[in-house]
Structure formats: C-alpha cells, structure tokens
C-alpha cells in the first residue's frame, strides 16, 4: 500500500492486469489517445509531498487506464459496453485493485488512516474527470451507497455489505444512484421547490410489509451504471403521497427476484458509463437496508446529499474543462497553417486566455465548495453547520458551464480536425454537453440555489434539526 492508502502499482503491473487495454509496448492503447498535458501545470494549491505523489498517481491512472478504456467504450455499441470483458469492467477493477474506492471514505469505514483532505479529494476528482467523465461518473455512483451506509447504516449492514464492498479489489460490487424516473427528472433534483408537494405519485413506490418494504415500479433510463450495478442507492415514495417527506432512501441488492433492467441507452455523450432503466417488480427491502425512512429527515438528507454530489461533480467538471483546454493549447502550438503556428493569431491567444481564466476560476470555486461541504455535512464534526446548498449548486453550475464553454472553444481552435471522431475534443465536447443535464440541469440547479439565497442569504449555518422541522 502506498501513500494515503492508494496502492502505487507500477505501470508494468497495471499493464499486466490490463491485457485488453495495453495492446503492445509501442502502441499501449491499441488506438490513438491524446496524453498531452502530462499532469504538468502550475496548481496554485499548496500540496504536501504525499498529495503531490497522489496527484501524479491519479494522473497516471487517467492516462494509462481511463482514457484508453473510455476511448474504446465510446466507439462500442451499448450491448458491447456491458458485455463480459468490456474495458468498462477492466477499468473499474483496476481502480478497485489500486484502492481508489477507499480513498474518500473515513478511516472507520475502511478509508486511509488519516482522512483525505478536501483539497486532495478535489485534486483526485479533477484527474479522474480529465481521464474520462463517464468512468469518473461510474466511480462516483459506485461510492454513493457505501458512503451513505458508512454514515447512516446499522452495524449489521456495515458488517454484511460495506466491509466486503470496501475489501473488494476485483470489481465484484458496483453501485448506482437511482433517483430520477420517466415522469420525474428535474423535480426530484430541485428539493427546495415550494411546489414539491404537487409532484404527484412517483413511479417507484415503497409499500410497508412485515420486516421492511416492497418496491414496485421503475427508475429512468438515465441511471448511470444502472445496467451493470450490483446494488442501487434508491429513492422511493412511500404510500403514494405526492410529498417529498413521504419518501425513503435505501440500498437495494439488485441481484434478487423482481429486479429487471432495460436495455442500455445509446447516448450522445458520457458513453463510457452505461445508463439504463431498472424495474422493481415486488422487490423486498429489509428494514436494515432503509438508511433514511419517510419523514422530515428525508428531504433534509436529500438536500445535503445533493450538496455533496454537486460539489463533487463540479471538481470532475473542472477536469473535463482542463482536458479540453490542454487539447486546444497543444493544437495551437503545434498546428502549422499559413506558414506558422496557429498560436500567433491574436484571436487564438485571447481564446486560450479566456479558457485558462475559466478553468482556473472554476477550479478555485469548486475546491472551496467541496471543502465547505465536507466540513459541514451533518455529522462531519461537532462544529458542522450544514452544507450550503447555494454554494454547492453554484459551484456545480459554474464548473459545468465552464466545461461546456471551454470544450466549445477548444473545438473552434482545433477547427475541422476537432470535428473528426479521431479527435479527443470531439468526445470532450459531447461529454461536456451532456454535463449540462447530468445530475440536474443548469437551470434547475440555478433555481434551487436562487431559492436558497433569497431565503437564507444572511445565514451562516443550516441547523439540521430546524431544517427537518421546516419540511
Ligand atoms: C449523463 C447522465 C447521467 C445521469 N445519471 C443519472 C443517475 O445516475 N441516476 C439518475 O437517477 N438519473 C441520472 N440522470 C438523469 C438526470 O438527473 C436528469 O436527466 C436531469 O435531472 C434532468 O431531468 P430530465 O432529463 O428528466 O429533464 P426534465 O426534468 O424533463 O427537464 C427538461 C427541461 O425542462 C427544464 N425544467 C424542468 N423543470 C423545470 C423547472 N421546475 N423550472 C424550470 N425549468 C425546468 C429543464 O431545465 C430542462 O431544460 C443522468 C442524466 C445524464 C444525461
């Protein structure tokens, strides 16, 4: 085990475990994948030596594992992506064999001996996003059930499910986050909407039975990793009431009678993480798997969970933006056109400057938002004051918009070559465009932040008890 709990496998060792990805020493990916940047740039953060090594390791994983796997997956049919031997499984297994799934957990849940700082988490998330938005998404939704069990689960559930999941180094466990439904997308993300009591009946309903609950219904076709997940973190409405308060949050074993999956979706972007429907035809959920029961805790929990997902995905989006910026920079320096490099043109210089300005600003704000969220999630410490929804949502909106604008500019700098399926910027543009919808649309996240700032701007804390009382 290396620094900070991540196994620092040599490139050769990683290569040996990835025969499908490492075709030969000369052409290790078996395809063209840009590695420009090399993780070399001036980061204004003060990192310790350990943190610097971890960043290098994460970048190497992004270069050696994530980008080549993502490149192959992007070109496959939806069914090929989820078939045995797909680079998706190899990439996930590699992350697990190197211990990345433990990196963000507290020590008592099997994480590093000393909890990773929020800054280090941001650095690693940015590298994963730089490597592949889809595989970074798969990595994050895999962690979600375990993180929630570590905070809300009983000791029995921790022993029976969390411990083997955390110990797994082959990818036997894989999580997903099943929240949206065919008739409920944005409305399940904008928890602060005063109209939430009129959302109507959900399409996944939980019925009370002896010893637990039974799930009937379905989740949307957009559940990331839905087609392959072994377990889902599920939101389900209890009793059919249209109010958010009457919902529960549970971790559900997907390898049991009554679970069916729809075909994997064929999406424009984020094709490296399979998405698909999950149907629940009378699926039993024992009481111990219900982490948050129906009641005022549920909306407060969902609000704070969304603060975490928002501030995490914003750091991943910064990685996507940096990847696009680096592709444009490389191209502007090396493309000879009209007798000289593109970078001699003033408009190209100003575009590169504007891209750099946005990436740097998004990075600074995303890191600040994640640090505040991590420090203030209920239970994080005795001083935890509740994570700030307006800041978390704003970080997400800003970073996603940055990723899209920077990818769009990168395409313009690269010109026709950037529109070719052989160019990384073409994939980055499709991924960045999808980000404007993934995990909440920009408009809905912004409206959620606006409601919070109008109601709470002068507040510096989000008392959890009070929050529960208001719902
Ligand atoms: C790549 C990707 C990954 C995803 N992963 C997951 C996942 O892991 N799990 C999961 O459950 N879901 C997932 N989703 C679904 C995602 O959360 C939803 O797509 C998103 O929340 C938007 O919902 P919708 O697509 O149903 O759009 P709708 O809610 O139908 O919205 C359509 C349009 O109407 C606007 N709109 C909607 N409501 C309002 C309002 N109240 N006020 C103003 N404008 C509004 C929206 O901004 C948008 O422009 C994923 C989606 C993508 C693209």
Residues 44 and 135 in one domain: yes
**What pLDDT does residue 34 have?**
82
Instruction: Provide the pLDDT for residue 468.
Output: 80
Cα-to-centroid distance, 185 and ligand 1 (Å): 4
Atom of ligand 1 nearest to the CA of 195: 41
Are residues 459 and 389 located together in one domain of the fold? yes
Ligand 1: atom nearest CA of 190 is 41
Domain assignment present for 1: no
One domain, residues 63 and 144? yes
Q: 272 CA to middle of ligand 1, Å?
A: 19
The predicted model gives 338-357 an average pLDDT of 98
Q: Does residue 371 fall inside a structural domain?
A: yes
Would you say residue 245 lies in a domain? yes
Which ligand 1 atom lies nearest to the CA of residue 178?
A: 11
Last residue of a domain, one of 276, 292, 308: 292
Q: What is the pLDDT of residue 338?
A: 96
Which residues, 6 or more positions from 392, have their beta carbon under 8 angstroms from its beta carbon? Answer: 306, 307, 308, 310, 311, 314, 369, 372, 373
198-250 tens-digit pLDDT: 777 899 999 999 999 999 999 999 999 999 999 999 999 997 667 788 999 99
Give me the CATH number covering residue 461: 1.20.140.10
Identify the CATH number of the domain in which residue 138 sits. 1.10.540.10
Q: Do 45 and 71 fall within a single domain?
A: yes
**Average pLDDT rounded to a whole number, residues 287-303:** 95
pLDDT band with cut points at 50, 70 and 90 for residue 434: very high
State the pairing for strand pair 231-238/290-292: unpaired
- What pTM value is reported for the model? 0.94
Looking at the structure, tell me whether residues 260 and 168 fall in a common domain: no
Per-residue confidence (pLDDT) for residue 238, from 0 to 100: 93
Q: Looking at the structure, do residues 324 and 460 belong to the same domain, yes or no?
A: yes
- pLDDT at position 123 over 80: yes
Instruction: Please report, for the domain that includes residue 252, its CATH number.
Output: 2.40.110.10
Whether the per-residue pLDDT at 13 is higher than 60: the answer is no
Residues 182 and 242 in one domain: yes
Domain boundary among 114, 142, 173: 173
Q: Which domain covers residue 184, as residue numbers?
A: 176-292
Give the residue, by CA position, lying nearest to ligand 1 atom 7.
Answer: 223
C-alpha span between 1 and 223 (Å, rounded): 33
Note the pLDDT of residue 7. 55
Please state the domain count of the chain: 3
Q: What is the pLDDT of residues 68-107, one digit of tens each?
A: 999 999 999 999 999 999 999 999 999 999 999 999 999 9
Ligand 1: atom nearest CA of 184 is 26
Residue 290 has pLDDT above 70, yes or no: yes
Q: How much distance in Å is there from the Cα of 275 to the middle of ligand 1?
A: 14
87-97 and 67-74 helices cross at what angle (nearest 10)? 160
Q: CA-to-CA distance for 261 and 97, rounded, in angstroms?
A: 27
Residue 280 · residue 215 · CB < 8 Å: yes
Last residue of a domain, one of 232, 266, 292: 292
| Residue 21, in any domain of the structure | yes
Same-domain check for residues 281 and 340: no
Task: Flag whether 45 is in a domain.
Answer: yes
Q: What is the pLDDT of residue 3?
A: 44
Q: Ligand 1 atom 46: the closest Cα is on which residue?
A: 441
Nearest C-alpha to atom 51 of ligand 1 is from which residue? 438
95 and 122 inside one domain: yes
Q: Mean pLDDT of all residues in the chain?
A: 92
Q: Are residues 253 and 333 in the same domain?
A: no
Q: What CA–CA distance (Å, rounded) separates 280 from 205? A: 9
Beta strands in 66-187 (DSSP E): 175-178
Shared domain check, 180 and 141: no
Q: Are residues 130 and 257 in the same domain?
A: no
């Amino acid at each position: 085990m290396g620094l900070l709990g991540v196994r620092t496998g040599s490139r050769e060792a990683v290569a040996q475990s990835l025969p499908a990805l490492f075709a030969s020493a000369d052409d290790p990916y078996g395809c063209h994948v840009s590695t420009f940047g090399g993780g070399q740039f001036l980061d204004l953060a003060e990192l310790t030596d350990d943190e610097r090594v971890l960043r290098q390791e994460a970048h190497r994983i992004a270069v050696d594992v994530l980008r080549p796997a993502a490149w192959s997956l992007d070109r496959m049919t939806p069914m090929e992506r989820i078939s045995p031997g797909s680079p998706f499984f190899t990439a996930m297994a590699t992350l697990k064999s190197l211990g990345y799934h433990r990196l963000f957990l507290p020590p008592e849940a099997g994480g590093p001996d000393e909890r990773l700082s929020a800054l280090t988490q941001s650095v690693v998330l940015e590298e994963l996003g730089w490597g592949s938005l889809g595989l970074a998404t798969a990595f994050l939704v895999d962690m979600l059930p375990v993180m929630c069990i570590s905070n809300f689960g009983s000791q029995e559930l921790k022993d029976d499910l969390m411990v083997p999941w955390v110990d797994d180094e082959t990818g036997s466990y894989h999580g997903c986050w099943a929240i949206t439904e065919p008739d409920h997308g944005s409305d399940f993300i904008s928890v602060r909407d005063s109209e939430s009591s009129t959302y109507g009946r959900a399409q996944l309903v939980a019925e009370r039975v002896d010893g637990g609950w039974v799930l009937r219904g379905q989740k949307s076709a957009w559940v990331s990793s839905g087609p392959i997940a072994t377990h889902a973190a599920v939101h389900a409405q209890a009793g059919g009431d249209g109010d958010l308060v009457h919902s529960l949050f549970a971790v559900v074993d997907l390898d049991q009678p009554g679970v069916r999956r729809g075909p994997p979706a064929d999406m424009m972007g984020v094709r490296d993480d399979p998405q698909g429907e999950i149907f629940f035809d009378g699926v039993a959920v024992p009481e111990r798997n219900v982490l948050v029961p129906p009641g005022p805790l549920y909306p407060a929990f969902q609000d704070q969970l969304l603060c975490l997902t928002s501030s995490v995905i914003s750091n991943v989006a910064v990685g996507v933006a940096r990847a696009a910026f680096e592709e444009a920079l490389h191209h502007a320096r090396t493309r000879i056109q009209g007798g000289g490099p593109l970078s001699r043109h003033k408009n190209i210089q100003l575009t590169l400057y504007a891209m750099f300005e946005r990436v740097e600003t998004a990075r600074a704000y995303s890191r600040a938002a994640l640090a505040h969220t991590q420090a203030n999630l209920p239970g994080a410490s005795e001083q935890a004051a509740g994570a700030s929804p307006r800041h978390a949502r704003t970080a997400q909106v800003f970073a996603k918009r940055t990723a899209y604008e920077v990818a769009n500019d990168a395409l313009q700098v690269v010109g026709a070559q950037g529109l070719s399926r052989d160019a990384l910027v073409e994939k980055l543009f499709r991924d960045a465009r999808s980000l404007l919808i993934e995990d909440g649309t920009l408009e809905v996240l912004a409206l959620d932040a606006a409601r919070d700032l109008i109601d709470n701007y002068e507040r510096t804390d989000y008392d959890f008890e009070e929050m529960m009382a208001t719902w």
